[in-house]
Amino acid sequence: MNYFLTLVPPLVTALFGAVIGAITVHWLTSKRELYNVRRDLRTEYLIQAYRKITNGTQRKELSDRQKDDMESALSDVFLLGESEEVKAAFEFMKRMDEGSGASANEVLTALRNSLRREIGLSSSETNRHFFLRFTRNHDSNIKIMKQNPID
């Protein structure tokens, strides 16, 4: 009987500690995995938004597809962006609505800085964006149309 009283309490305590430890580790792992899934989803959508906005800039006219992509990209920024990105997207949309020749530079800069920080890259040295656009001439050859910075 004395042997039983000296052996059981430490075993029960160890078992209780192991169960509590396992539950805690599971909870922390679940929380980390959820954070990573959210981060990956946000990063993926905002990279796509960056590309769509870039594709719609520095063009004489936007096709219907490019307009739809721009709308979709700005919606993604409003849904998943940080406050700086949302503010820049709102200002861009407001200037577009006013017809005052809106520049997407602020939105692209906010997205680029946020995405680079999110994936662990150093910040960009410049806030200028360069675009390479191609146009077809009458011989169906492709030439560089412009490489414009947005100021």
Q: What is the pLDDT of residues 43-74, one digit of tens each?
A: 999 999 999 998 888 777 888 999 899 999 99
pLDDT value at position 72? 95
pLDDT value at position 132? 65
Bridge partner list, 148: 131
pLDDT value at position 8? 83
pLDDT value at position 3? 73
pTM: 0.73
pLDDT value at position 130? 66
pLDDT value at position 33? 96
Q: pLDDT under 50 in the chain at which residues?
A: 143-151
pLDDT value at position 134? 66
pLDDT value at position 80? 95
Angle at 119 between CA 126 and CA 43, to 5 degrees: 100
pLDDT value at position 146? 43
According to DSSP, residue 138 is labeled T
pLDDT value at position 143? 47
**Sequence-separated (6 or more) residues with CB below 8 Å from residue 122:** 116
pLDDT value at position 148? 45
pLDDT value at position 128? 66
**Sequence-separated (6 or more) residues with CB below 8 Å from residue 41:** 80
